[in-house]
Amino acid sequence: MFVTMAVDHLLTSFILLLISNTGFSAEISVFVQTGDSVQLDIQTHELLEFDVLSWTNDKSENIVRFIHASKTEKPHPSYKDRVDFNDENFSLTLKNMQKTDSGLYTARTIGESEKIIVTYRVSVIDAVEAPVLTVKSNWSSDSCLISFTCRSHEFTLSSAFKYGSCSPEEVTSHEIYTLILYCSEESIICNHSNTVSWKEDRINIKRLCEDNERFSIETHHGLSMFGLMFIVFGVVGVIVFSGLVLYCCCKNNKGVKQSDDTDYDDVETLTQKMTGDTWTTIIYCTVGHQTPSSAHDC
Ligand SMILES: *[C@@H]1O[C@H](CO)[C@@H](O)[C@H](O)[C@H]1NC(C)=O
Ligand SMILES: *[C@@H]1O[C@H](CO)[C@@H](O)[C@H](O)[C@H]1NC(C)=O
Ligand SMILES: *[C@@H]1O[C@H](CO)[C@@H](O)[C@H](O)[C@H]1NC(C)=O
């Protein structure tokens, strides 16, 4: 019996505590970007009978004082041009918010007693700066592996992405700022955000990898192609050269047998036509056949 009463008492106080918490100290947090407007609602449809409804800031200035009987409102001079008050639902809209406007905004009614209806904690913050994504590229032999860094005012994130398979996203955050680094099929994206805004930087990974691939093929294969062509030309050159030498010597032999002067002329012209080592050929001819006439001619 005594125990049940104690439990009942405990429960009651707990419920009371909850009510007082929601009724008095609960604040609604609102973030506004510098220069933007904010609309503050009273969050209830049932207002008790009241004489005056007011919205105040934490300097206890009455931004608006609404007199129920006359349905007239009086805005504070310092808010005159940038406040809208709706006398049907008692919403307050503040325009062109500046950082100095951050703080508590409270709606209260005054009648037989004073009652706080709602309190907002308004934070006016600047939009985030755009993050900067930098590629510290890396090309491994078999695939496009790109490492990069994303920097914002507060953080730096680094990661590496392999073309065709996205790594899990990297996230870092502090208070109201978050930096996320992730990738889609085509792009690497870095998203810098706070509670009022976000900006991103992205890089087309597909194009980057295709450019990389082309460059790699050009450098690797380009080099071997050059080598191959060098060898082919070399071999062809040697064959042509040997052929000419052979031709020269055969003609020489014939010439000796036939003792025909015109043939010597032919050989001479041929040797002259050949670029470079004319002398080698001549000597070769001489050594090869030891004919006095050819030695003379060569
Ligand atoms: C109150 O009225 C204004 C103007 O019609 C409207 O913009 C605002 O959303 C209303 N607020 C609520 C809580 O309905
Ligand atoms: C990436 O580049 C660094 C140096 O720039 C190198 O040490 C590393 O091995 C490279 N990694 C790959 C996978 O190519
Ligand atoms: C960037 O991050 C913010 C906050 O997380 C999100 O609202 C926004 O949609 C993101 N942008 C992109 C393009 O994913």
Give the pLDDT of the chain (298 residues) as one tens digit per residue.
444 444 455 444 444 444 444 445 589 999 999 999 999 999 888 877 899 999 999 988 999 999 999 988 888 888 878 999 998 999 999 999 999 999 999 999 999 889 999 999 999 999 999 999 998 876 666 677 888 899 998 889 988 887 777 778 889 999 889 999 998 888 899 999 999 999 999 998 888 777 766 666 665 555 556 666 766 777 777 788 787 878 777 776 665 455 445 455 554 444 455 544 444 433 343 344 444 444 444 4
Residue 54: domain span = 22-125
Alpha helices, H only, the chain: 2-20, 205-258, 261-273, 278-289, 292-297
Residues 184 and 279 in one domain: no
Of the ligands numbered here, which is closest to the C-alpha atom of 200?
Answer: 3
CA of 142 to the centre of ligand 2 (A): 13
Residues 142 and 121 in one domain: no
Residues 110 and 166 in one domain: no
Residues 28 and 121 in one domain: yes
Residues 118 and 162 in one domain: no
> Which residue has a Cα nearest atom 5 of ligand 2?
138
In a domain, 39, yes or no: yes
CA of 154 to the centre of ligand 2 (A): 27
In a domain, 228, yes or no: no
Nearest C-alpha neighbor of 120 from the set 92, 100, 79, 98 = 92
In a domain, 3, yes or no: no
Give the domain-ending residue among 70, 99, 125. 125
Residues 115 and 140 in one domain: no
CA of 155 to the centre of ligand 2 (A): 24
Residues 103 and 143 in one domain: no
Residues 32 and 117 in one domain: yes
Q: For residues 66 and 75, is the Cβ–Cβ distance under 8 A? A: no
Testing ligand 1's pocket by substitution, the residue of 44, 73, 85, 91 carrying the most ligand atoms inside 8 A of its CB is 91
Give the domain-ending residue among 106, 125, 144. 125
User: Cβ–Cβ contacts within 10 Å for residue 209, how many?
Assistant: 20
Give the domain-ending residue among 210, 233, 249. 210
Residues 179 and 121 in one domain: no
Residues 28 and 118 in one domain: yes
Residues 27 and 119 in one domain: yes
- Are β-strands 114-125 and 103-110 bridged in parallel, bridged antiparallel, or unpaired? antiparallel
Contacts of 214 (CB under 8 A, 6+ apart): none
Q: How many folded domains does the chain comprise?
A: 3
In a domain, 169, yes or no: yes
Compute the radius of gyration of the chain from its Cα atoms.
46
Q: Report in angstroms the alpha-carbon separations of 161 from 33, 111, 156, 158, 258.
A: 34, 65, 16, 10, 80
Q: Tokens in use for 162?
A: 């392999």
In a domain, 221, yes or no: no
Q: Report in angstroms the alpha-carbon separations of 14 from 6, 71, 115, 150, 228.
A: 12, 40, 22, 49, 89
In a domain, 200, yes or no: yes
Nearest C-alpha neighbor of 189 from the set 197, 211, 198 = 198
Q: Tokens in use for 153?
A: 């005012």
Q: Which ligand 1 atom lies nearest to the CA of residue 90?
A: 1
Residues 136 and 120 in one domain: no
